[in-house]
């Protein structure tokens, strides 16, 4: 692939809008041409992954298919410290940039009537990770063509288990998989954006989320004599009400701490006090400090509510991920790539969501930025992620590949802050 920067004939984005290339030394047109040449391959790969989804930590076939695709394109792939997932590195030179994709699907049924419908009962790619993977493969292949010797290396991390708690990113990030990278970039499908739009903002754009399970035990007994036992239904009800409202009083309101129970179970009979009760919920926070404070407060608050009433308690607080906080410098680079790919009118600010994304663990190690990629056909009603019927306008695959590859090139071209 030519890297001749005097060849600037392709100055329009996909929708025909003029693109300002003068603000960046990066040849995004070369990336666009490289991706265009493999777009059909990327769509076929995404359809293959969509038809054969695998849930978190079980992405064996997905890992093999992606590895075979990359190896078939002449690229070098290697394993990750996790049982599933893989890494691919392209380019040469001391500078390193990382890109991240996620491989896993959800335990949901795919109701769509399309040729690439899930062939696995009860599992489907309803979060768009098949698109993320195909886009990252496209970025790897395009970069392999456009990087000049010595320009730098791009490590593409295809992580397992984004959807589970604990998830795949933390052991990889803490295991040094992106160590030495000057920046890391990723994207996620956003049904609220049309294909051809990209949402990006500096600062926090997702929330922290943990799982909380509280198991209560007591001697049980007759409902006529609650004073001789521990009334676990009463204790569970107090926990469901008092625990969230106590956290609310004890954490900074600006950090938006929110404990919500989604499941509560205790007892069978109307005249018997049960011996066990369980509450399951999620602890979320928009601010990192509040998330950390809430985690420290939980055991003491559970004890303060349950113990005076005689209940024995056990708390299982499973750490999910902190908020994704986009680094301002990396956000400018990713925004520059987005402007080149979809035009200035296609790049929109994005709000912090209540959902979480374990990409944040990589941001603990290196600065980076995360973009929301439009995937809804213009004029169509958005279908939310985590709905079985979720699907994408496949033109977003090539746009995502160009965005990731372009961000990596921007990071090589920019002075580090
Ligand atoms: Zn998801
Ligand atoms: Zn997702």
Per the CB < 8 A criterion, the answer to whether 347 and 198 are in contact is: yes
- CA 146, 358, 303 angle in degrees (round to 5)? 170
- The overall average pLDDT reported for the chain is 94
Grade residue 23 by pLDDT with cuts at 50, 70 and 90.
Answer: low
Ligand 2 centroid, distance to 357 Cα (angstroms): 7
CATH match for 208-321 among 3.30.2310.20, 3.40.50.300, 2.140.10.30, 3.30.70.360: 3.30.70.360
The string over 190-220, giving b where at least 16 C-beta atoms fall within 10 Å of a residue's C-beta and e elsewhere, is bbbbbbbbbbbbbebbbbbbbbbebebbbee
For residues 316 and 318, what is the distance between their CA atoms, to the nearest angstrom? 6
Alpha helix ranges (H) inside 16-55: 28-51
Bridge pairing between strands 96-102 and 152-159: parallel
Ligand 1 centroid, distance to 71 Cα (angstroms): 28
| Residue 416 pLDDT | 77
Inter-helix orientation angle 288-306/232-250, to 10°: 150
Q: Which two tokens stand for residue 168?
A: 């795949």
Q: Which of 90, 81, 106, 79 is nearest to 34 (CA)?
A: 90
Per the CB < 8 A criterion, the answer to whether 105 and 50 are in contact is: no
Ligand 2 centroid, distance to 355 Cα (angstroms): 9
Query: Bridge partners of 276?
Result: 217
The residue whose two tokens read 């692939």 is 1
Residue 7 has pLDDT above 60, yes or no: no
Task: State the ligand closest to the CA atom of 372.
Answer: 2
Residue 417 has pLDDT above 90, yes or no: no
Residue 390 has pLDDT above 80, yes or no: yes
What residues are neighbours of ligand 2 (ion), with CB under 5 Å? 127
Query: Bridge partners of 113?
Result: none
CATH hierarchy code of domain 28-206+323-413: 3.40.630.10
| Residue 107 pLDDT | 97
- Can you tell me the mean pLDDT for 18-35? 77
Choose the weakest-confidence range: 8-17, 130-139, 294-303, 385-394. 8-17
Q: How many CB atoms lie within 10 A of CB 121?
A: 8
Ligand 1 centroid, distance to 180 Cα (angstroms): 28
In the chain, where does the domain assigned CATH 3.30.70.360 lie? 208-321
- Can you tell me the mean pLDDT for 259-267? 97
Residue 21 has pLDDT above 50, yes or no: no
| Residue 146 pLDDT | 97
In the chain, where does the domain assigned CATH 3.40.630.10 lie? 28-206+323-413
Per the CB < 8 A criterion, the answer to whether 165 and 57 are in contact is: no
Peptide bond before residue 166 is cis, with ω within 30 degrees of 0: yes
Ligand 2 centroid, distance to 46 Cα (angstroms): 15
For residues 40 and 266, what is the distance between their CA atoms, to the nearest angstrom? 54
Ligand 2 centroid, distance to 359 Cα (angstroms): 10
């Amino acid at each position: 692939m030519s890297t001749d920067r005097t060849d600037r004939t392709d100055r329009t984005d996909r929708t025909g809008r003029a693109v300002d290339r003068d603000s960046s030394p990066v040849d995004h047109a070369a990336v666009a041409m490289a991706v265009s040449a493999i777009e059909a391959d990327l769509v076929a790969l995404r359809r293959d992954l969509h038809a054969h989804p695998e849930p978190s930590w079980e992405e064996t076939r997905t890992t093999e298919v992606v590895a075979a695709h990359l190896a078939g394109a002449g690229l070098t792939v290697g394993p990750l410290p996790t049982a599933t997932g893989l890494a691919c590195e392209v380019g040469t030179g001391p500078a390193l940039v990382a890109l991240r994709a996620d491989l896993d699907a959800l335990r949901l049924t795919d109701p769509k009537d399309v040729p690439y419908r899930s062939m696995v009962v009860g599992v489907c790619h309803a979060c768009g990770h098949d698109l993320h993977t195909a886009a990252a493969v496209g970025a790897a292949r395009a970069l392999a063509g456009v990087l000049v010797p010595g320009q730098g290396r791009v490590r593409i991390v295809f992580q397992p288990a984004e959807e589970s708690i604990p998830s795949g990113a933390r052991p990889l990030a803490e295991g040094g998989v992106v160590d030495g990278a000057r920046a890391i970039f990723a994207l996620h499908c956003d049904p609220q954006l049309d294909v051809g739009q990209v949402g990006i903002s500096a600062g926090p754009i997702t929330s922290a989320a943990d799982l909380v399970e509280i198991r209560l035990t007591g001697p049980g007994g007759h409902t006529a004599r609650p004073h001789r036992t521990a009334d676990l239904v009463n204790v569970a009800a107090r926990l469901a009400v008092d625990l969230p409202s106590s956290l609310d009083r004890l954490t900074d309101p600006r950090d938006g701490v929110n404990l919500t129970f989604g499941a509560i179970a205790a007892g069978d009979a109307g005249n018997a006090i049960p011996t066990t009760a369980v509450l399951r919920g999620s602890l979320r926070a928009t601010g990192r400090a509040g998330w950390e404070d809430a985690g420290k407060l939980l055991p003491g608050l559970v004890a303060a509510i349950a113990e005076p009433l005689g209940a024995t308690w056990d708390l299982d607080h499973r750490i999910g991920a902190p908020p994704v906080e986009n680094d301002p410098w990396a956000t400018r680079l990713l925004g520059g790539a987005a402007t080149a790919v979809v035009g200035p009118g296609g790049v929109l600010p994005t709000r912090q969501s209540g959902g979480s994304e374990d990409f944040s663990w990589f941001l603990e190690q290196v600065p980076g930025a995360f973009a929301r990629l439009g995937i809804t056909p213009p004029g169509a009603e958005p279908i939310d992620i985590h709905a079985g019927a979720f699907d994408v306008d496949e033109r977003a695959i090539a746009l995502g590949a160009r965005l990731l590859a372009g961000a990596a090139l921007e990071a090589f071209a920019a002075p580090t802050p």
